[in-house]
Amino acid sequence: MKFPIPNLARPSRRAFGAAAVAAALVAGIGAPRAEAQQVEHPEGFNPDEWVVVASVINTTNPYMISNIEGAEAMSEALGIPLEIVNSNNSSQTSISSIYAILASGKKPIMFVNTVASSDAPTIVDAVRQAGGYVTIWWNKPDEYKPQDVGDNFVAFQKHPGVDSGRCGAQALGEALGGEGNVIMLPGVQDSTTSKTRVAGFRAEMSESYPGITILEERPSNWDPQLGARNAKDLIVKYGDQIDGVWSADDGMQIGAMQSFENAGMLEDVKFASDGLYPKTLEDIISGRGDNAIVGETFHRGYMASAIGLYTAYLAASGQIVPSELEDDKRESFFKLSCVTPENYEQYLQYDEEGAPAEFVERLIESGPWDTEPVPLVGGGVEELPQG
C-alpha cells in the first residue's frame, strides 16, 4: 500500500545529525541528549522510565521521513530516547515491532501513523497494558473513540480531508473562471483519506462552481505511474475537453502532469492537489506549463508527529488528564492551509533547515492545540458532504 500525504523532507539534517554523532563518538566526547532538552519535567515524572516511540508506515515516503524528523526533534526536546518503528507497509510488521518495543520494559510515549484503520485497537490495547500513552494519526475506525477507551489512548488527530478537497476545487474553479471540465484522480479508492478529499472536492464544485463538469474519476492508488497511465487514457478519451485535473496527492499529480506534458497539453490544463511536494514547489516557482499548478494544501509530517507525541507526553507526565479534555481535543482536526501560486512563499520557512526543531520549540510554548500554522480547528468524526 502507499500512503497519500507527501511532503518536503529535510534529509540533510538527519545526515548531518548522524555525521555529528559519529564525529563526537570518534572524538570520545559523546553527545548527551539532555543538552538539547527544552522541557522541564514535572515533579514525580522520571524520564528514565519512558521511551518515545514513533511508528511510521515506511521510511521511503517523504511524508514518513518528515514524521521521523518531528519525532527526533521532540525526543531531543524531552530528553527521552527515541525508537522508530518501520511498518514496511504492513500492519503485521507494525504491530509485532510495537510489541517488541513494549517488551523492553519502558513505558512508551507513542505516535502511530497507522497502516490500516483496523490496526488502531490492537496497538492501543498493547500500549495501555504497558502503561504507556498513545496518539494515533490519520486512520482509525470511526466508532473506536479515545473517549470510550480511556486515558492511555490520548487522542486521534488528523488534517481534514474534506478541507483538502475543497482547497483543490476552489483553486481549479477560480483558475477556470467557473467554467469547464475536470477529471479527478483519487488515491486508493476505499481509503478514508481519499474518500474525504474526494467528497470535499465534489461538494465544493457543486456548491460554488456549478459551471464546472466532472468528466470522470479514476482512482490511481497514490501511485505516480498509475496516475500517469490513467491520465493518458483519459487524455485519449476526452482530448482537449479537459481543462483541469485534480489529484488526491502530489505523487499522482506528478505522474498526471508528465502525461499531459507528453501529450503537449500541459499549458492548456490547470492542476490542483494535496501536499506541496518539493517537486510541486519547484514547478510552482518555475511556472512550469504556463503556471499549470493552481492549488495545493500545506501540512507537514514533522508537525503531525510532534503534535501527537507532545499530546501523549502531557498525558504521560500528568499535565493533562485526557478524560477531562473537550471532545475535539480527543478526536481532533488540525488546520490545513490552501496554498496558491500567490501565497506559497509564506510556507517556505517551514521547510528550512532546522524547521522541525523550531516548530517543536513553539509547540512546547503554545501547547499542542495552538501552534501555527496547524492549530486545532475542530473535532469529531469527519462528515462527508454530499457533492
Partner 1 sequence: MADAAQSGGGGTRAAGPRTAPRHGGAPFARLFGATTGPVGLISALVVLILVFSVLNPRFASVENLQNVLFQVSVPLILVVGATLVIQMGSIDLSVEGIMGAAGMAWILLSPNTRLAIDLGVWAWAVGLGVGLGLGLLTGLIYAKLKVPSFVVSLGTWYVGLGIAILLYGNSSLPSLTSDALERWPTALTLGLPNSFWLAVAVLAAGVLISNHTRFGRGLMAIGNNEPIARGSGMPVDLYKVAAFAIAGLLCGLAGILATMQLGSGSTDIGFGQLFIVIPAAVIGGTALSGGEGGMMRSTLGVFLLIILNNGLVLAGVDPDYQSGVFGLLLLVAIIAVAWPGRDRLKVAK
Binding interface with partner 1 (CB under 8 A):
2, 8-9, 11-12, 14-15, 59-60, 62, 65, 189, 216-219, 223-226, 228-230, 232-237, 239, 254-255, 258, 261-262, 277-279, 282
Closest CA to 281 of 350, 187, 227: 350
End-to-end Cα distance, the chain: 27
Q: Choose between 42 and 287: whose C-beta lies nearer to partner 1.
A: 287
Asked whether 109 and 149 are in contact (CB, 8 A), the reply is: no
* CB 165 to partner 1: min, Å: 16
Q: Choose between 209 and 260: whose C-beta lies nearer to partner 1.
A: 260
Cell of 187: 488515491
Cα separation, 113 vs 284, whole angstroms: 29
* CB 278 to partner 1: min, Å: 4
Local structure of 144: helix, strand or coil: coil
* CB 380 to partner 1: min, Å: 27
* CB 212 to partner 1: min, Å: 19
φ, ψ for residue 144, nearest 5 deg: -95, 100
* CB 161 to partner 1: min, Å: 18
Longest distance between any two alpha carbons in the chain, whole Å: 69
Q: Choose between 140 and 299: whose C-beta lies nearer to partner 1.
A: 299
Q: Choose between 282 and 345: whose C-beta lies nearer to partner 1.
A: 282
Strand-pairing partners, residue 110, are 53, 134
φ, ψ for residue 218, nearest 5 deg: -125, 105
Q: Choose between 70 and 322: whose C-beta lies nearer to partner 1.
A: 70
Cell of 101: 518495543
